[in-house]
């Protein structure tokens, strides 16, 4: 594509007078993207997350060995080498392969928790904030009850009740992580519910349901997305913590937290067994945090160059 073609396409996207719904939407997405990609660290975060997605998708191709079968006879607790880049664990399994396959479980946990917890929090928060009165009081007291317990302890109690396993760990984490989202959504809702543009929609005769769904939720979503991406690191760590306590993923599942748990017995002599998955958690958490920070700046239409 020639330089002029690129230039004209950019002008089309940044036009002050969009000619169609599509152009207006794409233009806004482009502005957000420019703001996001101008932030180097956020871009690095995005690259880390994309790398995680690629690794998870291509785990079968990328992993040099099986993640669950090891050579018990000849390759137990080997130090990192050209053959086993991250060494091997106590059952002779290649740690690199386990870390690569573990990325799938990490993504599974993170995405499921986000998909379950964020909508619950958004719904509870916006309804409470918009309705006010006793609906607000009831919903927020329930939220307070959940917030009153430390997250991991509450998740532990849920897993203990539901039984160990990664699905139950996901459920437990989701149940414990929606209250902060509800708080945020409620706070956002309170700032906009008395604004003239919401009054104007009320004056159109819109139902409360419609106002919350179509006019208030879109305003809460960007701060929620930011908060969820920032929480992703915490979700990974909670999942790892549950795995570490033996209540999350069960052996031989290559979940990173469970891997650290099994490596702790020889962390002083064979540090790589716990070190490799720990490092993976660190990198991915960092990636989500950087991404969240960048999104915060990019998603606010009122800030920036407009």
Partner 1 sequence: MTAALSVDRLEVVFDRFRALKGVSLEVQSGESFGLVGESGSGKSTLLRAIAGLAPVASGSITVSGKKLGARRDKAFYREVQMVFQDPYGSLHPRQTVDRLLQEPLAIHGFADGEKRIQRALDEVGLGTGFRFRYSHQLSGGQRQRVAIARALILEPSILLLDEPTSALDASVQAEVLNLLEEIRRRRKLTFLMVSHDLAIITHMCERLMVMQSGEAVEHLTAADLVERRVTRDYTRNLLRASEGFVRTA
Contacting residues toward partner 1, per CB under 8 A: 16-21, 23-24, 28, 195-197, 199-206, 210, 214-215, 218-219, 301-302, 306
Could you tell me which of 14, 42, 40, 32 has the C-alpha nearest to residue 299?
Answer: 32
Q: Which is nearer to partner 1, 150 or 301 (CB)?
A: 301
Tokens of 249: 């993923």
Q: Which is nearer to partner 1, 251 or 301 (CB)?
A: 301
β-sheet bridge partners, residue 94: 88
Residue 55 vs residues 21, 59, 102: alpha-carbon distances, Å: 37, 6, 10
Q: Which is nearer to partner 1, 44 or 206 (CB)?
A: 206
Q: How far is the CB of 32 from partner 1 (least distance, A)?
A: 12
Q: How far is the CB of 206 from partner 1 (least distance, A)?
A: 5
Q: How far is the CB of 28 from partner 1 (least distance, A)?
A: 7
Q: How far is the CB of 223 from partner 1 (least distance, A)?
A: 13
Q: Which is nearer to partner 1, 28 or 76 (CB)?
A: 28
Q: Is cis: bond before 31, omega within 30 of 0? A: no
Q: How far is the CB of 214 from partner 1 (least distance, A)?
A: 8
Q: Which is nearer to partner 1, 2 or 306 (CB)?
A: 306
Name the H helices within the chain.
3-13, 21-37, 40-57, 59-62, 95-131, 133-148, 151-162, 166-193, 196-203, 208-210, 217-244, 256-263, 271-299
């Amino acid at each position: 594509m020639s330089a002029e073609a690129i230039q004209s396409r950019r002008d089309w996207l940044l036009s002050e007078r969009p000619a169609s719904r599509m152009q207006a939407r794409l233009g806004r997405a482009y502005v957000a993207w420019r703001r996001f990609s101008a932030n180097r660290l956020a871009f690095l975060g995005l690259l880390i997350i994309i790398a995680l997605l690629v690794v998870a998708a291509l785990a079968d191709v990328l992993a040099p060995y099986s993640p669950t079968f090891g050579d018990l006879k000849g390759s137990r607790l080997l130090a990192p080498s050209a053959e086993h880049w991250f060494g091997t664990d106590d059952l002779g399994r290649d740690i690199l392969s386990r870390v690569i396959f573990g990325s799938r479980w990490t993504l599974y946990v993170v995405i499921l928790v986000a998909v379950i917890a964020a909508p619950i929090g958004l719904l509870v928060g916006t309804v409470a904030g918009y309705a006010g009165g006793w609906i607000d009081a009831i919903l927020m007291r329930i939220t307070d009850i959940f917030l009153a317990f430390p997250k991991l302890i509450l998740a532990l109690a849920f897993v203990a009740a539901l039984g160990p396993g990664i699905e139950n760990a996901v459920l437990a984490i989701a149940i414990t992580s929606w209250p902060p989202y509800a708080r945020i959504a409620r706070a956002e809702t309170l700032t906009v519910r008395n604004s003239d543009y919401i009054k104007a929609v009320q004056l159109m005769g819109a139902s409360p349901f419609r106002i919350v769904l179509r006019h208030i939720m879109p305003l809460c979503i960007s701060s929620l997305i930011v908060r969820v991406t920032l929480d992703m690191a915490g979700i990974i760590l909670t999942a790892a913590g549950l795995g570490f306590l033996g209540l999350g993923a069960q052996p031989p599942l290559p979940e990173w937290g469970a891997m650290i748990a099994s490596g702790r017995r020889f962390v002083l002599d064979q540090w790589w067994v716990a070190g490799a998955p720990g490092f993976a958690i660190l990198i991915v958490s960092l990636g989500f945090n950087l991404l969240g920070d960048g999104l915060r700046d990019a998603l606010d239409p009122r800030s920036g160059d407009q």
